[in-house]
Structure 1
Amino acid sequence: MKLLFLFILLLIAIEFQAQTNPGIGLVSIGFDDKTKLEFYESEMDNEPTEVLEFFLDSTISSLSIRNLNTQHKWLNPEVLWLDYHEFTFRCVSKTEDCFEIIVDNETGKSMWLKKSELTLFSTWETYLMRMFGIERLKSNPQKIRIGPSENSAEIKYEGTDCFIVKRMKDDWIEIMTPDYCDEDYTDSNTPLKSGWIKWRNGNELLINYFTTS
């Protein structure tokens, strides 16, 4: 059961693109089978450069995006998980009427999207605090510390990473082990009550996050 739970988490892990600007936060999109999203090269443009249209695909009994294979040539957002209504972009900047969002996390290309009842902006702190769980990148291991500083003492933790975010301070996040990550999953009899790790180093993000179980 422990291995199955871990496998499910890994399947839905969001792998960050290391060198793409994290921006000032994230923009999540609400959508249904009639949603149409228009993306502009400039905030001042009158005609969109790209358009996404959602529809109910009867062949899979689920929502989908028209010509999705073609759209993927320019569309590689932070999260695109239609079955769970997860569609999220990193936000570079925002004005009174628009968001500048990163539409391709590999290239860092940004476009503009008008604010509407479908768009929800969140800071990274607010967004990460809503996540089901986070883990440190195995490719860039870091120590858990008692405070938000490289000079703080290390906390010895030998369990599997299964944390939630309590708060953020600059490039650091305070983490803890939630109740649903019990000792059978974490391989530890001492769940973490409080510790600090870095969630980013410049443009490089140092964690994976999981939107749901």
Structure 2
Amino acid sequence: MAADTVELFNDSLLTSRYIKVSMYGDNMNIAPVCPKFYKPDYGIMHFVCLSQTSKVYTVLNGKADVKYLPRVKGYDFITWEKYILSSFGVKRTTENGSRPVNDQPLRISPGSADTVVIPKGLEMFCPVKLKGDWLKVKYDCFYNDEDTKHKSEPCNSYISECKNPTTGWIRWHEGNKLLIDIFVME
């Protein structure tokens, strides 16, 4: 999670600056910076971290371009587990060539177990637990309803109010490809 001003480098020694850019500045529209999640009006600029040392984060800029962020105050590292489990919810993705939703069923347990049926076309889940490539989820009875009283709340703050929520497991990634959409805000 990047600070308001982001300084990316071409090298891990931080000697060759790639760019220094303000998240809120007009230059973000033309700058060659491409975080995974970007919503400047909400202060969101999140990069995928590939590795870290005591001095740098190695991050993706776009799909395959590797850059480096200094490990300084203002840049926060959050694990995938914490990131997903603290989100507003998830759904199975269909974008960017990922498998279609119906090709990745909700399963009773990780792996090739029996599937769980949910109402067709309703995809919002609340993440519960990460186990390797698999994510345990609860079907979100509120966000799959158009008139939710829990709008703008992270799902873990209200999911216990769902009566007998359907639970199951979905693959959240395959190699370096995300198989879920993560909602970092409502």
Listed as ranges, the gaps of 5+ residues in structure 2 are 149-161
Identity across aligned pairs (percent)?
Answer: 23
Task: Give the deviation of 1:203 after TM superposition.
Answer: 2.2
Tell me, in whole angstroms, the C-alpha distance in 1 between the residues paired with 2:77 and 2:52: 9
RMSD of equivalent CA atoms: 2.3
Indicate yes or no: 2:25 matched with 1:65.
Answer: yes
* SS of corresponding position for 2:83: helix
Structure whose residues are more often strand by fraction: 1
TM (normalized to structure 1)?
Answer: 0.70
Indicate yes or no: 2:111 matched with 1:149.
Answer: yes
After superposition, the C-alpha distances for 1:88-146 in whole angstroms (9 at most, x for unaligned) are 000111001110111123xx101111012211111111101111111112452211111
Aligned position for 1:46? 15
Tell me, in whole angstroms, the C-alpha distance in 2 between the residues paired with 1:169 and 1:185: 32
Contact 2:35 2:61 (8 Å CA) reproduced:
yes
TM (normalized to structure 2)?
Answer: 0.79
Inter-CA distance 185–155: structure 2 relative to 1 (3 Å threshold): farther
Contact 1:52 1:66 (8 Å CA) reproduced:
no
* SS of corresponding position for 1:155: coil
1:60-139 mapped onto 2 (5 Å cutoff): 64-71=24-31, 74-105=32-63, 108-138=64-94, 139=99
After superposition, the C-alpha distances for 1:149-185 in whole angstroms (9 at most, x for unaligned) are 11x1111212511111111111100001346336567
After superposition, the C-alpha distances for 1:49-76 in whole angstroms (9 at most, x for unaligned) are 211135xxxxxxxxx22422320xx211
* Candidates 130, 149, 157, aligned match of 1:168: 130
Aligned position for 1:193? 166
Runs of 4+ in 1 over 3 A off after TM superposition: 182-186, 189-193
Contact 2:47 2:60 (8 Å CA) reproduced:
yes
Q: Answer 1 or 2: higher relative contact order, Cα 8 Å, separation at least 6.
A: 1
Indicate yes or no: 2:178 matched with 1:205.
Answer: yes
The alignment covers a number of residue pairs equal to: 166
Tell me, in whole angstroms, the C-alpha distance in 2 between the residues paired with 1:96 and 1:156: 46
Q: Which deviates the most, 118-127 or 154-163? A: 154-163
Tell me, in whole angstroms, the C-alpha distance in 2 between the residues paired with 1:118 and 1:110: 20
Task: Give the deviation of 1:209 after TM superposition.
Answer: 1.7
